[in-house]
Structure 1
Amino acid sequence: MTGIILHHYPTSPFSEKIRLVLGYKKLDWKSVIIPSISPKPDVLALTGGYRKTPFMQIGADIYCDSALICDVLEHRQPAPTLYPDGMQGLARITAQWADTTLFWAAMGYNLSPKGAAHMFAGAPPEVAKAFGEDRGKMAVGMTRLRPGDATAAYKSYLRRLSNMLEGNAFLLGAAPTVADFAAYHPLWFSRVRVPEMDGILDATPGVLAWMDRIAALGHGTMQKFSAAEAIALAAQSTPLSVENESFQDEHGIPLGSRVTIAAESFGPEPTEGELIAATRMHYTLRRTDERAGTLHVHFPRIGYVLRKAEA
């Protein structure tokens, strides 16, 4: 099978989520380091518009959003599972809460003035300004918690995670599920990226011990790869066929239509292409790039908006 390429950068929390899933499943993967802010010309050559981090590439197939990446990795390497029998729904719903509600509370706390000062300590002022402007553009129209409200919510969520861990090694039992990896990465940001802010974790020692167990899973076996190599590989690869996938039409938009797909809230930049699959759980667009060739770009349904492209 064609190898896994993760496009990410070291301090990205959602990238840490996927790096740990790769470690849990003991997978080999190639690492392409991408910029943390725009411009991202090599990213857009592959995704067509999507610029959140990370995304995964397998040949000429591009997988956007960490929730979809987890599903693809589960299909590729079913054991150990992220979705145990009898817990699939609970694991997915908990992960969705962690990737959204918990994440934004944690980041509202992590990037309060004290945390932001630590994050950009030693960097020229224009670096912090550029980062803030970039994330501001990605959050247009989105309501975010102020630091005080975020801190209060984060403390409550940490206590709830601690309650889940009473008598359990992991959130839902004796083994990790997708919920653990989703809940871990915003806390990892507090502990590793802005350690001056990690005191909030001290009130929940059970959570800290759980974090140590997750971190011990490692990141699998990584090999460095360049963006140029990844784009060249895409250009010489053929995307996987989607002809036999069932079509679930919720929008009255037939396959073959020109459409756009964009995130519901954070990172609203659209990707445009030909709709070639719309299954129960994901969309697939076909698009062509002058450098990367013909690509299939995949998105989850949940959290994304499908529209007909404007003529």
Structure 2
Amino acid sequence: MNDLILHHYPSSPFSEKIRLVLGYKKLPWKSVHIPAVMPKPEVVALTGGYRRTPVLQVGADIYCDTALICDVLEHVRPEPTLYPPHLKGVCRIFAQWADSTLFWAAMGYNLQPRGAAHVFAKAPPEAAKAFSDDRRAMAVNMVRLRPGDATCAYRSYLRRIANMADEHDFLFGMEPCVADFAAYHGIWYTRTQVPLLADVLNATPSVGEWANRVEAIGHGPMTQLSPEAALTIAAGVEPQPPGSNLLIDSAFQDDHGVALGSRVTITPESFGSESTEGELIAATRTHYSLRREDARAGLVHVHFPRLGYVLRAVAPT
């Protein structure tokens, strides 16, 4: 198998989720640091438009969205599992809630004016403006919580997580599962990026104890790689054919009346409105795959989960 290459930046919460999953599975990986805001020329060369962080590259196969990346890493190394058989449904549903509702409440709290001022205290003023403008553009299709509403929601969700953490070492038992990694990353941002706001955790000490156990998992063996080297790797190999890559399901499931081989776009439902256009080569019960070419990356296959993404046929010109 080709190396696992994670395109990320250190303060990205969703990247922390995947860094910990890699550590949990003791998988060696290569780290490519990317910009936190646009432009992201090397990322877009691989994805064709998708710009959310992180992105996992395996040769010339590009996996978008942490929900799909978790499935890929589970296939690469099934044990220890992210999806215990007796919890497979509930832990996925919880993770979907944590990656959306919990995360946005946490970040609405974390990036209130005091938090944002702390994050950018040592950066030039234009950096804070660039970040704010970038995230505003990404959230154009979203309703974002105001800081007061986010604080109220975050406190409530922390109490509910505490009810779970009171019972076990991890949220659903004595071992972590995908739910722990999904719930942790917004809380990680509170603890590590805006520590002046971390007193919100004081009312739920079991959440802090649980977070310490998740943090102790670590990131596993990692080596640095340049963005240019990652593009060279993609350009130097062929992507895996549908059905033989790291996504185990391959049966075509047509919910749109769009045939394989059609020109399509894939777009996130909400956060991040950039589309990726390409030839539809897989549409299964769990994911979409597009074939596309780039002058720098060569021929690549770009993969997305079905949930949270919109498929549209491109009208002939």
TM-score by length of 2: 0.97
* Structure 1: gaps of 5 or more residues: none
Matches within 5 A, 1:135-284: 135-242=135-242, 245-284=250-289
- In structure 2, distance between residues paired with 1:250 and 1:293: 30
Residue in structure 1 matching 2:293, options 280, 288, 293 = 288
Separation (CA, whole Å) in 2 of partners of 1:201 and 1:188:
11
- Structure 1 residues 243, 93: CA separation in 2 closer, same or farther (over 3 Å shift)? closer
- Whole-angstrom CA distance in 2 between matches of 1:90 and 1:140: 31
Q: How far apart are the structure 2 equivalents of 1:167 and 1:52?
A: 35
| Cα separation, 2, equivalents of 1:276 and 1:209 | 45
Change (3 A) 1:203 1:243: closer
The corresponding residue for 2:64 is: 64
- RMSD across aligned positions (CA): 0.8
Show CA shifts across 1:205-264 (max 9, x none): 100000000000000100000111100000011111115721000000000000000100
Any idea what SS the aligned residue of 1:288 has?
A: strand
Q: Distance in 2 between matches of 1:296 and 1:2?
A: 14
Post-superposition offset of 1:165: 1.3
Task: Describe the SS at the equivalent of 2:279.
Answer: strand
DSSP 3-state at the match of 1:102: helix
Instruction: State the Cα deviation string for residues 255-300 of structure 1 (Å, max 9, x = none).
Output: 0000000100001100000000001100000000011110000000
Distance 1:85 1:49 in 2: 35
Deviating more after overlay: 241-250 vs 86-95:
241-250
State how far apart, in whole Å, the 2-side matches of 1:194 and 1:261 are. 34
In structure 1, how many angstroms separate the alpha carbons of the residues matched to 2:142 and 2:3? Answer: 36
| Other-structure match for 1:100 | 100
What do residues 109-129 of structure 1 show as CA deviations (whole Å, max 9, x unaligned)? 000011011011022211111
Measure the CA separation in 2 of the matches of 1:186 and 1:30. Answer: 24
Match of 1:306 in 2: 311
Runs of 4+ in 1 over 6 A off after TM superposition: none
Report the residue type matching 1:103 in the other structure.
F
1:117 paired to 2:117: yes
Q: Measure the CA separation in 2 of the matches of 1:309 and 1:24.
A: 40
What residue identity is the alignment partner of 1:26? K
Partners of 1:167 and 1:104 in 2: CA distance: 26
- Secondary structure of 1:86's counterpart equals helix
Percent identity between the two aligned chains: 65
Cα distance in 1 for residues equivalent to 2:243 and 2:64: 20
Alpha-carbon distance in structure 1 between the residues aligned to 2:209 and 2:263: 49
Q: Determine the structure 2 residue equivalent to 1:82.
A: 82
* Separation in 2, partners of 1:166, 1:40: 42
1:297 match: secondary structure: strand
What SS class does the counterpart of residue 7 from structure 1 fall into? strand
* Structure 2 gaps, min length 5: 245-249
Separation in structure 1 between the aligned mates of residue 283 and residue 125 of structure 2, nearest angstrom = 45
- CA distance in structure 1 between the aligned counterparts of 2:117 and 2:15, rounded to whole angstroms: 22
Query: Could you say what secondary structure the match of 1:181 adopts?
Result: helix
- What is the TM-score with the length of structure 1 in the denominator? 0.99
Letter in 1 for 2:20: L
3-state secondary structure, aligned to 1:158 = helix
Deviation of 1:310 after TM superposition, in Å, equals 3.5
**Structure 1, residues 103-159: CA drift from partner, whole Å, max 9, x if none?**
000000000011011011022211111100000110012100000000000000000
